[in-house]
Amino acid sequence: RGRRWRVTAALAIGTLAAGLRDLGVAQGDRVALVMANCPEFVLSLFAVIRLGAIAVPINVREGTPELAHILNDCGAKVLIHDADLSGHLPGDAELPLLRQRISVGGQAPGALAFEDIGAAGHTADPVPVQEEDTAVILYTSGTTGDPKGVLYSHRAVVLHAMGASLA
């Protein structure tokens, strides 16, 4: 049973990665994730990393001005978000670098549906990365000013995962 889940997840990640690649996501591009804890968040995170792109998870509780700042500061090319947050997100005019929105859990204005990304049987191979390449950008709370991005390398992500598994 556990092996079947791993195989299914691996196929879903590969399919989503291929769909993101078809939308123009390439190595080093930033993909913002504004979603509550859900399977689509995990799939998106690993699909982005599989492409050698950089995942930018953002707290769903951020205000619209803070979201605009973070999305512009990191240079997000794609935004994957919960559909029910679409009215809370900055408009296209505020996000000149953003090229695509993808909604999870329903249709949102101006966004592709998450379920429509990628074709069955069409997957993307992992893009080779260096361990010092950036994998994830996490933003601080911004309590003393604007939120600031903290870069985490692939090596740091692996070491954090190893440490958590030993705790």
Per-residue pLDDT reduced to its tens digit, 104-160 = 999 999 999 999 998 777 899 999 999 999 999 999 987 888 889 999 999 999 999
> How is residue 69 written in tokens?
């700042």
Q: Is the sign of the CA dihedral 112, 56, 38, 154 positive or negative?
A: positive
**Beta carbons of 134 and 116 less than 8 angstroms apart:** no
Q: What is the pLDDT of residue 118?
A: 86
Question: Higher model confidence: residue 118 or residue 88?
Answer: 88
- The CA dihedral of 83, 100, 59, 133, to the nearest 10 degrees, is 150
Residue 75 has pLDDT above 90, yes or no: yes
Mean pLDDT of the chain: 93
Mean pLDDT to the nearest integer, 50-78 = 97
Mean pLDDT to the nearest integer, 77-90 = 97
Residue 1 has pLDDT above 70, yes or no: no
**Which percentage of the chain shows pLDDT scores above 70?**
96
Mean pLDDT to the nearest integer, 26-35 = 98
The whole-model pTM stands at 0.93
Among residues 90, 12, 87, 1, which one has the least CA distance to residue 44? 12
Burial class (CB in 10 A: 0-12, 13-18, 19+), 148: middle
5 pLDDT band, cuts 50/70/90, is: low
Angle of helix 2-22 versus helix 39-50 axis, rounded to 10: 60
Residue 16 has pLDDT above 80, yes or no: yes
User: How far is residue 93's CA from residue 20's CA, in Å, rounded to a whole number?
Assistant: 23
